[in-house]
Amino acid sequence: MTVPNDANAARKPPFLRSRDEYKTLFDSVDTFLLDCDGVIYHGPVVVPGVKRVLQMMRDAGKKVIFVTNNATKSRAMYKKTFDKLGIPVDEAEIFGSAYASAVYMREVLNFPEDKRVYVLGEKGLEDELDAKGIKRTGGTDPEDRVFLPSMDFSAYKPDPTIGAVLCGFDSGINYKKLCKAYSYLRDDPSVHFLLTNQDKTFPTNGTTYVGSGSLSAPLVFALQGKREPTVIGKPNKPMMDAIIAEHHFDPKRALMVGDNLLTDIAFGNNSDVRTLLVMGGVTHKEEVYGENPSEIVPTFVMESLGDLEQLLDN
């Protein structure tokens, strides 16, 4: 495999370009962990060649798992997205941070049945909590999606039924929600502080906007030195632990494929899983092969996951 020839080559990953390199990599993987936006599609457009590559993986008996930090969608909602794109996917193959958070709360925290979680998030996150039988409040509740008519802080009272605050992407975030969440975490140290993910931005249609991590930043900052959140999604290992627990695969025979060094590649690296960075997403080649490359180094780099389509050519 070709390694870039420069002074920093020792810490720069091979850039795969040939059919032989693709085949060597493909044959070494039993489980493909695939980020979605930037790897499988860009907004409403499927990455060229990816449909055939996914079918090739299935025909070869490879396990395919779609791993995303997007907490706005449940697995059922994500399946509808794939259906519209003409990509056959089983709901069990989808592992988003919304589902991972619900699994973590139920399986790891053993969240009490008599407690509720206060949600900063969308319907997809609520659906996954409901599927796991976790009681909730906040979220898309219209009462919490209205701005304060006045600075009346008497409305924020202790609520002994709240056992956790869970923050995801929330398009209806406002000062009222932040104050309620803060008051629960400030007044009761037993209330869990959870983030679905800490992404600064999220990619869509070839650009980026404010992400879940930026929206939860006011709470993290306000509680600094008092409370630290548990972050479920990429790049944190709890999400990989949850995926392995559910899908039972050998991490040494797995490959995490993504377009983001900070989330996808760090996620695999933190979990001792090999990583493949694909270009055309949020990462630029200079960040890997430039004079001052990122400290996060993928195992391999390719232009696109669709390039594996060459393996189907005779």
- Active site amino acids: 35, 37
Residue matched to tokens 């991490």? 251
The amino acid at residue 32 is: F
Helix (H) or strand (E) holding 119: strand 116-120
Number of neighbouring beta carbons within 10 Å of residue 160:
8
Q: Please report, as a single letter, which amino acid is at residue 276.
A: L
259 is in an annotated binding site: yes
Cα dihedral 112/115/119/125 (nearest 10): 40
| Cα gap 71→97, rounded to integer Å | 5
Say whether 199 counts as a known binding-site residue.
no
Q: Is 234 known as a binding-site position? A: yes
Q: Computed over its alpha carbons, how large is the radius of gyration of the chain?
A: 21
Neighbours of 273 (CB within 10 A): 22
Is 6 marked as a binding-site residue? no
Other beta carbons less than 10 A from residue 10's beta carbon:
7
Helix, strand, coil shares of the chain, percent, nearest 5, are 40, 20, 40
Which phi and psi angles does 307 have, rounded to 5°? -65, -20
Summarize the annotated binding site for Mg(2+) as residue ranges. Answer: 35, 37, 259
Summarize the annotated binding site as residue ranges. Answer: 35, 37, 234, 259
Summarize the annotated binding site for substrate as residue ranges. Answer: 234
